[in-house]
């Protein structure tokens, strides 16, 4: 079981990533990402267009095969910021809030590969309820707990948590 102080830190990270998601500029989803290493926030991101490009909230979504391609995902923006500023992400945890997907990871395969390539050791998907502002369309299912993705043995003690090892995923 986690120590009360450690649990408090995790709850605070969840609240911060929820707040970050409010900055997302796509009308279809508001997603936030927070990269934490050694208990410190090292990078943040939200889904939005690249700097200098128009945002969905200003000119509408650019849809291809049912997906908006105008914006960069929150996870990719957080990783890109760290890279651009020379901030190492080896062994870090990325917290993500705002996705409802039918996939096991809760993040897209491209962002999962990017996080692994950046050395991020764990992905934590922070769940949300239908009543929250990020809710857009009826999903195939609602995430029912925190998803931990890790490349090391992880004993999850968070209620409702699901654990995935990248070696086991296909």
- How is residue 118 annotated by DSSP? T
Within 8 A by CB and 6+ apart from 109, the residues are: 103
Candidates 75, 129, 132, 138; catalytic one: 75
CA distance 77 to 59: 20
**How many Cβ atoms from other residues are within 10 Å of residue 85's Cβ?**
9
Could you tell me the CA-to-CA distances from 5 to 8, 40, 145, 168 in Å, in that order?
5, 14, 21, 32
| Count of positions (residues) in the chain | 170
- 75 is annotated as an active-site residue: yes
**How many Cβ atoms from other residues are within 10 Å of residue 105's Cβ?**
20
Give the catalytic positions in this structure: 75
């Amino acid at each position: 079981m986690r120590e009360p102080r450690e649990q408090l830190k995790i709850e605070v990270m969840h609240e911060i990533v929820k707040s970050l998601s409010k900055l997302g500029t796509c009308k279809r989803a508001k997603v936030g990402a927070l990269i934490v290493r050694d208990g410190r926030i090292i990078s943040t991101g939200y889904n939005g267009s690249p700097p200098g490009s128009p945002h969905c909230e200003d000119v509408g979504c650019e849809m291809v095969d049912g997906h908006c391609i105008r914006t960069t995902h929150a996870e990719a923006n957080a990783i890109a910021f760290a890279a651009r500023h020379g901030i190492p992400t080896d062994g870090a945890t990325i917290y993500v809030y705002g996705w409802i997907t039918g996939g096991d990871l809760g993040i897209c395969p491209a962002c999962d590969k990017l996080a692994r390539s950046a050395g991020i050791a764990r992905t934590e998907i922070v769940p949300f309820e239908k009543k929250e502002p990020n809710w857009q369309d009826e999903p195939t299912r609602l995430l029912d707990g925190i998803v931990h993705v890790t490349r090391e043995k992880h004993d999850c003690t968070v209620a409702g948590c699901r654990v995935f090892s990248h070696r086991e995923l296909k």
